[in-house]
Amino acid sequence: MSLRLKILSAVVGLILLLGLGGTFHARYSLASISRDQLVKRGEAIASGMASDSENMVLTEDIFGLYELVNSTMVNNDDVRYVIVLDDKREPLVQSFPEGLPTGLLAANQPSPDGQRSVRRIPTDEGAIQDVAVPVLEGEAGVVRVGLSENGLQERVNTLTFQLLALTGGILILGLILAYGLATLLTRPLGRLSAAAQAVGRGDLSQRVAPERRDEVGWLATAFNAMTEDLARSRDVIDESQRQILRQNQELAALNDVAAAVGRSLESETVMEGALDKVLSVMEADAGGILLWDKRAGGLAYKAHRGLSQAYVEGVAGLQVEEGIAGRVAGSGEPIALADIATDPRAEREAVHDIHAFASIPLRSKEQMVGVLNVARRNLSPFSEREVGLLTAFGHQIGVAIENARLWSEVKDKERALSELLKKTISAQEEERQRIARELHDEMAQGLTALLMGLGRLESSMTSVPPPVTETIETVKEFASAALDDTRRLVLDLRPTVLDDLGLVSALRQYAETRLDPLGVSYKLEARRLQERLPPPLELALFRILQEAINNCGRHADAQHVRIQLEQENGEIRAQVEDDGKGFDLWSLMEGKGEKAPVGIIGMRERAALLGGQLGIDTRPGRGTRISVSVPMNLFR
């Protein structure tokens, strides 16, 4: 409900309450007073008739009584009837032409003590005030006069109607005044409401002029102050949102550039992707990345967009402090130009359709890597914020280019190391094969010939003294043992099963030949291995594990040996573990000369040549565990 309607409702309610309440109070009071006056008038008429009728009643002058009754009826319009009773309370004279109504005599009987009696009798014609006055204190009879209340009621109704009409007039006047007052009060409130709704829709420019120095005016002043505070707060919030949006955009741009430079470690791919992303983010039309070129003897474009090939080739060999890019490379500070076409340092051929320009240093850990040039064909210069963002791009691109360069160097070194490893292993294996051939062709054949000669000598001699026979047998035993050792050495130097069946089978055969004769049990486990590893890797791993197994048999005094092989995450991991006596590794590694642990040193050198690591976990009385991990990327 609106305030205007509330005011009108309050005024109407108040006027109706007062008007109707006053009207009904006046009606009740007037009716009560008029009724009392009617009763008194009836008593006066009845008393007068009682006095005038004393002699007539005593003399039973009926005619005189009729005249008195008629005179009373004629002179008093509100007298409805007159009844004169004798001393026996029987009617002598009455004004009803058709006879007394039934029950009227009993309706009002005077008291025996001769006092007046007044009764209000309801009839079809309305209420009647029946007044009974005794004649000569009731000894001669009673005069009863009935006065109708209809006239009284008409006067009361007329007055009530007049009061109601007055109330209606006052109500109309009150409504007019209340409407004017409500309009006067609500008009500024309506303006306040409209302004508040506009503020709710976001229009904080709304103001309400305070028209009066009252509560409404104070409310308008407070509203204006609130609106101004809201406008200032919204400006602060909008600025904060703009800053957050700019920061988010910059972070998104940095992430995009970081993603572009992180997709590859090839320098050319890095520069091409980074340049495309920077030009897109900065809404630039042309640009390029210049790096130091040893062949050109200066800065040269390694990636470019929107530049002519003739200009790119002509700029090759740009020296430090030469041109805009040279100055940036020398000072390490960015340069931004609103219109490069007006700068004397710019090449006319390159900038005939370019205006806004920025040149940014590319750094990696305070080291100058190159220069990033970005340009627009319109006259929208690069702002300070955009130059800062380009500087951040330059740092990302510089780090990415340096990482790509380092990656290239690492790959070159890996390739060189791989070639060196292959040559080293090849040389070692060639030397082992040469030694194995010499052992087989010379020593093994010589020992075989010696055994055959001793056999022929023994069979050709008919009678040989026992000492000679014993000597021949001893020599044959030594020669046979030497031949077995030679054959074993040949197999150790070049196990043919490694070439035929692979690393696992070669290790199993070697463990059988070395550990079974010593009564040492072993367990070989291989998980997730390829069917065959690259031959150089198989051979190198076999040599390391061969030495570890050999040490278990020769030095560990072990009862059990566990050999494990596993391929995971681009690595080959191997482990040889025994339950032998162990040893003090640090004391052993401090040994010099003949005491130096040649086998351990050899295993570590081979692991290092493979780009891997060798670990030894041992303690006196706790056994020994030798583990090696080798990356497979050198053998791809």
Q: Where are the domains of the chain?
A: 3-161, 250-413, 502-635
111 DSSP assignment: P
Q: Which residue has the tokens 């009621």?
A: 153
Residue 565 binned pLDDT confidence (cut-offs 50, 70, 90): very high
Picking from 76-90, 178-192, 358-372, 565-579, which range would have the lowest pLDDT averaged per residue?
178-192
So what's the pLDDT on residue 137? Answer: 78
Domain covering 502-635 in this structure, CATH number: 3.30.565.10
In sequence order, the 6+-apart residues with CB closer than 8 A to the CB of 494 are 429, 432, 433, 436
CA 321 distance to own-chain centroid: 50
- Find out whether 254 and 396 touch, Cβ atoms under 8 Å: yes
Q: What is the pLDDT of residue 114?
A: 67
**What pLDDT, on a 0 to 100 scale, did the predictor assign at position 592?**
46
Question: Taking residues 194-220, what's their average pLDDT?
Answer: 76
Range with lowest mean pLDDT among 164-173, 259-268, 280-289: 259-268
Instruction: Give the tokens for residue 8.
Output: 């009108």
Ramachandran sector of residue 398 (left: φ over 0; alpha: ψ -120 to 50; beta: rest): alpha
- The conformational region for residue 93 under phi > 0 = left, psi -120 to 50 = alpha, else beta, is beta
Is-contact 334 328, C-beta < 8 A? yes
Residues 6+ apart with CB under 8 A from 402: 364, 365, 367, 369
Give residue for tokens 């009904």: 24
Give one DSSP letter per residue of 331-388, joined into a string. Answer: H---EEES-GGG-TTS-TTTSTT---EEEEEEEETTEEEEEEEEE-SSS-PPPHHHHH
Strand partners for 565: 526, 574
CATH number of 250-413: 3.30.450.40
Summarize the confidence of residues 150-170 as an average pLDDT. 85
Provide DSSP, 21-75: HHHHHHHHHHHHHHHHHHHHHHHHHHHHHHHHTHHHHHHT-HHHHHHHHHHHHHH
Give pLDDT, residue 634: 66
| pLDDT over 60 (residue 351) | no
pLDDT for res 349: 52
- Range with the lowest mean pLDDT among 24-33, 104-113, 230-239, 376-385? 104-113
Half-sphere exposure of 4 (CA within 13 A, CB side): 15
| pLDDT (mean) for 400-422 | 78
CATH of span 3-161: 3.30.450.20
Work out the average pLDDT over 48-65: 84
Averaged pLDDT of the chain:
81
More confident residue, 1 or 332: 332
Q: Which of 202, 263, 253 is nearest to 227 (CA)?
A: 202
What CA–CA distance (Å, rounded) separates 146 from 81? 5
606-626: per-residue pLDDT in tens? 888 788 899 999 988 889 999
Q: What is the pLDDT of residue 594?
A: 45
Q: If pLDDT is split at 50, 70 and 90, which confidence band does 593 have?
A: very low
Edge-to-edge order in the sheet of strand 560-568: 521-527, 560-568, 571-578, 624-631, 613-618
In the prediction, which pLDDT does 346 show? 63
Query: How many beta carbons lie within 10 A of that of residue 513, not counting itself?
Result: 15
| DSSP-assigned letters across all residues of 242-308 | HHHHHHHHHHHHHHHHHHHHHS-S-HHHHHHHHHHHHHHHTT-SEEEEEEEETTTTEEEEEEEES--
Same fold, 3-161 and 250-413: yes
pLDDT (tens digit, 9 = 90+) per residue, 442-486?
676 777 777 787 777 777 776 667 777 778 778 777 778 787 777
Q: Is the alpha carbon torsion for 606, 608, 611, 614 positive or negative? A: positive
Task: Please state the pTM of the whole predicted model.
Answer: 0.45
pLDDT value, residue 422: 67
Confidence at residue 261, expressed as pLDDT on a 0 to 100 scale: 65
What pLDDT is recorded for position 617?
92
Predicted local distance difference test score (pLDDT) of residue 573: 92
Of 3 and 551, more confident: 551
Task: Give CA–CA dist 630/541, Å, rounded.
Answer: 9
Which of 275-279, 495-499, 578-582 shows the lowest per-residue confidence on average (mean pLDDT)?
495-499
